[in-house]
Amino acid sequence: MKVQVCIIGGGPSGLLLSQLLHRQGIETVVLEKHTRDHVLGRIRAGVLEHGFAALMREAGCGERMDREGERHHGFLIAHAGGRMDRVDLHRYSGGNSVLVYGQTELTRDLYDGRETSGAATMFEAEGVALHDITSPRPWVSYRSRGEPCRVDCDYIVGADGFHGMSRHSIPRDVLREYERVYPFGWLGVLSRTPPVSPELIYVRHERGFALCSLRSQVLSRYYVQVPLSDRAAAWSDEAFWAELRRRLPAEVAARLITGPSIEKSIAPLRSFVAEPMRHGRLFLAGDAAHIVPPTGAKGLNSAGADIHYLYHAMRAHYRHNDDTGLEAYSQKALTRVWQAQRFSWWMTAMLHRFPDNGSYDDRLQQAELSYLFSSESALASLAENYVGLPY
């Protein structure tokens, strides 16, 4: 097979880029390790920056997102003694907002868009390997149902997530990795229950962080911080709901409607960046290059910025033989990646209970929150990061 761009990974990063390029007549193939159903079985992000939503529309896959997604102009932070304060995103970001629409649904929309376009997606692609990535004619090998296959291309995009292989195709003496692993995880539950609040509630509590989110008015998403040693199977639904109630302000806990969990999992938290995001004709995008703790809702949205830069760079290359975007990609993407890293770390440090924290750290977190809600410029800083810094 010969294409212009070979994309490794059929998650939101790879699919969004492939759809955007396809609409510009740039031929791509997506190699995905698993089946479509397996990919769609993952419960992940829930909040889209306005820039990400705009990319979905430009990819021709935004219609259901705009119909079913919920525009949110603010969120709440519950902290000292059950007090709740609102972050007015609309006011402090100059009129911007976020869209609450699950990653599972947007990935489904992207798959539907790709199938309608007739572009090629190879599912259950095994043993993907990259070859001659610093030559003008890179190629990719993989097996499909045991049969050896080959893709010749101009460029390879590694959008295969944190556990993918593409990052490891960059020589060890070139690749630099930066990482911080947090001593806790998020136990998440999805339930077919009405959300406890019309807006998200982030909770700082002495027992640990909690988050009340949603996917729709009949589908709620909740999280509680748990030790890394915990296993989701050891948490009964009753134990989860009781722990969540303990961490919520009394009036919120009183109106919480519980129900059976339809998904329950623990996500470990880490901050991670791999540099550079380009080596020869290989470009890294999304979780393949960076990971953030989900506190700031920047994981999927950071991937969106990478895709924006890569899409415009490849379009300029094929339309105008202009390679300035490709040359600048890694540096430009990493500048925004590190802003998302900073914000995600800040939100995580402010709201979570760190096992080694002493009384000083506890008071510092309280001071951070009281400063935040006493300063318009602090609220403006949070708001502009949460809705999404400019691309």
Active-site entry in 298, 308, 317, 352: 298
Q: Where are the alpha helices (DSSP H) in 235-323?
A: 237-247, 250-254, 299-320
Give me 151's structure tokens: 């893709």
Q: Which is nearer to ligand PHB, 279 or 298 (CB)?
A: 298
Parallel/antiparallel/unpaired status of strands 201-203 and 210-216: antiparallel
State the CB neighbour count (10 A cutoff) for residue 6.
29
DSSP-based three-state secondary structure for 387: helix
DSSP-based three-state secondary structure for 67: helix
Q: Which is nearer to ligand FAS, 45 or 224 (CB)?
A: 45
Parallel/antiparallel/unpaired status of strands 5-8 and 28-31: parallel
Q: Taking the complex as a whole, how short is the minimal distance between the CB of residue 48 and ligand FAS, in angstroms?
A: 9
Q: Which is nearer to ligand PHB, 120 or 267 (CB)?
A: 267
Active-site entry in 294, 311, 317, 329: 294
Parallel/antiparallel/unpaired status of strands 176-191 and 219-227: antiparallel
Q: Which is nearer to ligand FAS, 289 or 379 (CB)?
A: 289
DSSP-based three-state secondary structure for 390: coil
Q: Which is nearer to ligand PHB, 156 or 190 (CB)?
A: 190
Part in contact with ligand FAS (CB under 6 A); list of ranges 83-91, 227-235, 270-278, 291-299: 291-299
Residue whose C-alpha is closest to residue 12's, from 111, 99, 98, 101? 111
Q: What are phi and psi of 73, to 5 degrees?
A: -100, 5
Binds 369: which of ligand FAS, ligand PHB, none (CB < 5-8 Å by kind):
none
Catalytic-residue membership of 391 = no
Binds 299: which of ligand FAS, ligand PHB, none (CB < 5-8 Å by kind):
ligand FAS
Find the binder of ligand FAS among 40, 149, 267, 316 (CB under 6 A): 267
121 binds ligand FAS (CB under 6 A): no
Parallel/antiparallel/unpaired status of strands 5-8 and 120-122: unpaired
Catalytic-residue membership of 294 = yes
Part in contact with ligand FAS (CB under 6 A); list of ranges 90-98, 245-253, 299-307, 339-347: 299-307
Give the residue nearest to ligand PHB (CB): 46
Size of the site for ligand FAS (CB under 6 A): 33
Q: Which residue has the tokens 């519980």?
A: 258
Binds 273: which of ligand FAS, ligand PHB, none (CB < 5-8 Å by kind):
none
DSSP state of 287: G
Binds 31: which of ligand FAS, ligand PHB, none (CB < 5-8 Å by kind):
ligand FAS
Position 319: which residue type? R
Active-site entry in 33, 72, 205, 264: 72
Q: Which is nearer to ligand PHB, 123 or 345 (CB)?
A: 345
Q: Taking the complex as a whole, how short is the minimal distance between the CB of residue 147 and ligand PHB, in angstroms?
A: 38
Catalytic-residue membership of 298 = yes
Q: What are phi and psi of 33, to 5 degrees?
A: -65, -35
* 183/171 Cα distance (integer angstroms): 30
Active-site entry in 223, 329, 386, 391: 386
Q: Taking the complex as a whole, how short is the minimal distance between the CB of residue 210 and ligand FAS, in angstroms?
A: 14
**To 5 degrees, how large is the angle CA 166–CA 170–CA 176?**
110
Q: How distant, in Å, are the alpha carbons of 1, 72, 215, 348, 381 from that of 111?
A: 21, 26, 19, 32, 35
Catalytic-residue membership of 202 = yes
Positive or negative, the Cα torsion across 55, 59, 62, 63? positive
**Stretch 76-105: interaction string toward ligand FAS, x if CB under 6 A:** ---------------------------x--
* 275/119 Cα distance (integer angstroms): 31
Q: Taking the complex as a whole, how short is the minimal distance between the CB of residue 358 and ligand FAS, in angstroms?
A: 29
Find the binder of ligand FAS among 12, 74, 113, 158 (CB under 6 A): 12
Catalog residues that contact ligand PHB under the rule CB under 6 A.
Answer: 45-47, 200, 213, 221, 294-297
Position 347: which residue type? M
Q: Which residue numbers are catalytic?
A: 72, 202, 294, 298, 386
Q: Give me the residues that bind ligand FAS (CB under 6 A), please.
A: 8-14, 31-34, 39, 44-46, 103, 125, 128, 159-161, 164-165, 267, 286-287, 294, 297-301, 303
